[in-house]
Amino acid sequence: ATEIFDISRLQTLAEAGDTDAQYQLGFCYKFGLNVDEDAAQAALWYEKAASQGNVHAQCSLGYCYREGYGVEQDDEKAVYWYTKSAGQGNADAQYKLGFCYETGRGIAQDDKEAVSWYTKAANQDNADAMHALGRCYALGIGIAQDDASATFWLAKSVEQEEQDQEETAYDDEDFSVEDYDYLSDYIDDEEDEDDEEDEEEYEDEEDMPVVGPEVLPETDDEAAESEETKSDNGEEVEES
């Protein structure tokens, strides 16, 4: 399905300032979709989209800064972009921001804040956040120790991870379920547009495409045979 990503089209739209196209182009460079993988180009386009408020690009740019992917590694900038994305409700960013708070990476260590972000992401079915939250309940990290809650969230994380593995087409630890959902939504949108274009091609046509076997006109012999059959059956044959 990745052939749907039209790099030339995305490049044109991205250069015109379309934030979705900018993110999609960065996405393509990150995962080598119809173009050679290029970390610098991926980070470049993520940053353009993130600066205009694209929630997915903000999370992806956070990853780039955290890992030094296409940019100079910078934990504080990673936290900055994760915070932007998490504030807009991105579950993957919420989990990663929680992890930054728990480990004190790029921001002052704060277990309660970590649990708060883990909870937000877990409630959006993020398997990593579910596991982290279960661990926090089990060990009493940032929240009162609670075996029942620990068991609940750890079990939920296993179920969610199995479901995610069934749904996700890419075997890449950096390709999150949200990335896959985004890819699926994008492909669905593109296919819907193609269907609409096909319909528009015919809406002004008098003859729509034939559905089912094509009916061909009778030959003279076939017409004569048909009239004889009607006569034999006692049916009135119309004179021409």
> Which of 41-45, 187-191, 224-228, 236-240 is the most confident on average?
41-45
DSSP notation for 141-164: SSS---HHHHHHHHHHHHHHHHHH
Task: Identify the pLDDT of residue 86.
Answer: 98
Tokens representing 206? 């008098």
Q: Quick one: average pLDDT of 13-36? A: 94
User: What would the pLDDT profile of 95-121 be if each residue is shown by its tens digit?
Assistant: 999 999 999 999 999 999 999 999 999
State the average pLDDT for the chain: 81
Taking the C-alpha atoms of residue 24 and residue 6, their distance in angstroms, rounded to an integer, is: 10
User: What would the pLDDT profile of 53-90 be if each residue is shown by its tens digit?
Assistant: 999 999 999 999 999 999 999 999 999 999 999 999 99
